[in-house]
Chains A and B, each alone.
Chain A
Amino acid sequence: MPRHFGEKARTMSDESVPHPTPENSRRISVDYLARVEGEGAMHVWTRDGVVEDVKLKIFEPPRFFEAFLRQRSFTEAPDITARICGICPVAYQMSACHAMERAAGVKVEGPLRELRRLLYCGEWLESHGLHVFMLHAPDFLGYESGIAMAADHRPLVEMGLRLKKLGNTIGSLLGGREIHPVNIKVGGFYKVPRQRDLDSLREELKWGADASEKTARWAADLPFPDFEQDYEFVSLSHPGEYPMNEGRLVSNRGLDIDVANYEDHFEEQHAPYTNALHSVKKGSDSYFVGPMARFALNFDRLTDRCRSVARECGLDGICRNPFQSIIVRSIEMLYACEEALRVIEQYERPDRPAIDVDPSGSRGWGLTEAPRGSLFHRYDIDDDGLITSAKIVPPTSQNQLRIEKDLREFVPRYLELPDDKLQWHCEQAIRNYDPCISCATHFLKLERIDATS
C-alpha cells in the first residue's frame, strides 16, 4: 500500500457519498489526502474509461469563525482569524487589518507598510518551504512522504528545513512568536523592531536567496507530466511591486476590480458533499488563485534575478502546468528573500508602531495574497466598533472547483494504471494547489450576510 491511507482511523464512510457503482464503472477514493494540511477526501467515478464525476470532500468539523466574530471588537479580528490556520496566520491577520483600515478610510504607509511586506515574506518562505520540500518534492522523487525522502536526500531536506526556519525567524521577529503572531494589530504593530534586529536576518536571507535559486533550478529538472490547462488566473496586482498586501484584483481574462467589489464578481456556493464552500466567478466558472496566478499576472514586477532564473527554468512569464508550481514557489521564495533584504536595507524605524484606526459604523474589505492564494475578508462594524457581520473566503475554497476540473482532465490519461498508482497521481494533482483544507472549512449560514447587506 502506498502512503498510509489505511492507517487513518477517522476516515469518512463511503456511504456518505451516494453514487451508483455499476459493474463497468470504477471508483477511486482517497479517504485521506496525505500531505495536505487538514483532512480531506476525494472521489472519482469513471465508466467505460470516461470520467463521470469527481468530488473533493472536506470533513474537518465546520468552523464557526464568521459567526464567532460577531459582537467582537474590530480590534480582535486579526487575532481571532489568525487561528483559522496554523500555516498562514499572517495572511488572516493582514486581510483583517486591511479590511478594518479600509473601513476607517486610513492607509498604513511608509515603514509600517514595509514591515508588513517583510512579515509576509516570512510567511511565504515558511509555507512554500514546507510545501516544496516536504510535501511536493516527494511526489516527483517517488517517495511516500518527506520523511521517507529525508534519508536519501538529506541535504535537500536540510536545506528545506533551513529555508522554512528562516521564514519562522522573520515571523518570530515581527510577530512576537512563530505560529500565531501576537504583535500584529489593526493599524500596524504593538512594537516595531530596531534596525539591528533586522540586520541579524541579513546573512541568512542572502543564503536563502541562493538556496531558493538552487531549488528552482533543481525543481526545473524534475519529471513533470505534460498537463497544461487554460486557467483563469486571479491575483492582486500592484503597479509598483509583486503583490502581497495591496493592489487591484485582476485576471488574465479581463477582470480588474477594486477588492471592495469582490462580492459583485465572485460568489460562494455550498456543495452538498462538503462543508467547505466552492467559490465561483459569476458569469463564468472556476478560477485559479495562488503562486501560479501571481506569477502569471505580475511577472514583470519580480526582481531581475527572479525573472532570469524563471526563464532559465523554462518559465517565461507564465506557467500553465500546475505540477510546475514547485518551480514557481521556489521563485517566490527567491523573491521573498530578495524583497526582505530590500526592506531591511531601506528600513527606518517608525516613530509610532501603529496608526489610529476607527472603523466604527462602516464596512471594510481586505484581500491579501496568502501563500496559497488570495484571501478575502469583509466586515461590517457598528457604531460601537463591534463586528456585526464577517465574511471570509479562503484561497482553497476558491481553488476547489478548479482542482476538481484538473482531476477530470487528468484522470482519463492515467486510467490504465492500477488503482494505487492512479490514486497517487490524483493526490499529486490536488497537492499542486497546496490546499489548506483546514482553512477552507468554515461554516455557511446563507441568510446571515446578505440579509444585512
Chain B
Amino acid sequence: MNFLLDLSTPITLGILLGGLYALIALGLSLVFGVMKLINLAHGDLMLLSTYLAFTFMNVWKLDPILSLVIGIPVLFVFGFVIQKYLLNRAFKISMEAPLIITFGVSIILENLYQILWSPQARGISTSYSIRSFGIGELHIPVIYLLDFVAALIIMFALREFMRRTYLGQAINAASQDRGAAQLMGINANRVYAFAFAIAMVLAAIAGVFLGLTFPFTPQSGVSFLIIAFGVVVLGGLGSIAGTFIGGLVMGLAQTLGGYFFGASAQMFVAYLIVFVVLGVRPQGIFGR
C-alpha cells in the first residue's frame, strides 16, 4: 500500500507532463503528417520560442504567455523561410538533401542560441511557475497542472477545428490525397500554408510551456524533437486522441523511469521507449 502511495506522485506528474508532451507533438504531427515535411530542426524552432519568451521575461518583465503575441509571428517567419527557401528546394535536389539541410539548420540554430544566450541552463520563472500545491500526500507544481489544462484546451480546440470547419476538413483531405482534394475545389497550397501556420503557433506555445516547466540549454532542441517524435510515433499520425495517449505514455515513462532508476535516467527511459516503438511499430498504436 505504501508502495502505491509512493508511486502516486510520479504517476500524477507523469500524466500531467503527458499533456505537455502531447502539446509539443501536435505541431510536429501537422508539419510531418499533413505536409510531409522532414524537418530535423523542428525541436530547435520550438526552442526559439522558449528563448524568446525567456528574453521577454528577463528584459521586459513580460509574461511569457503574453509574449506569444510576438513569439508566434517570429516562429512563423522562421519556419516559413526554412520551408519555402530550404526545404522546397531540398526535395528537388536529392533524397538525402532535406535531412542533411535540416540537420545543418538544427546545428546552426543550436549554436546561435549558444552564442546569444550562453550554454548555461536557463529557466523561465514567473510567479505561478514556481509554486506548487498539495493534495493529500502529493505535491504538484502548479505549472504541471497549467501545462495539462492548456494542452487539453488546445487539443480540444484543434479537434473541433479539424472536424467542424471546412478548412479543418480541407487540411484533413489534403493530407490524405492532395490531388483529390484539389478536385473538391480546395486550393491545396493555401491550405498547406494555413496548416503550417497552425503548426508554428502550436510549436510556439509548446516552447513557452516547456520553458516554464523545465530548465533548458541550447541543446534542448534535440530532446524536444525526440520526445515530440516519440509521441507522434506512439500515438500515430493524424489522431489527436492518439497523440494525447502517446503524450501520456512518454510522460509516465519519464517520471516512472526517474522514480525507479534515478533522476539522471529519466530521459534514458523516455528515449529508449521511443527507440523501441520505432523499431516495433513505427506507425504507432493508433496509426493507420
Q: Do A and B come from one complex?
A: no
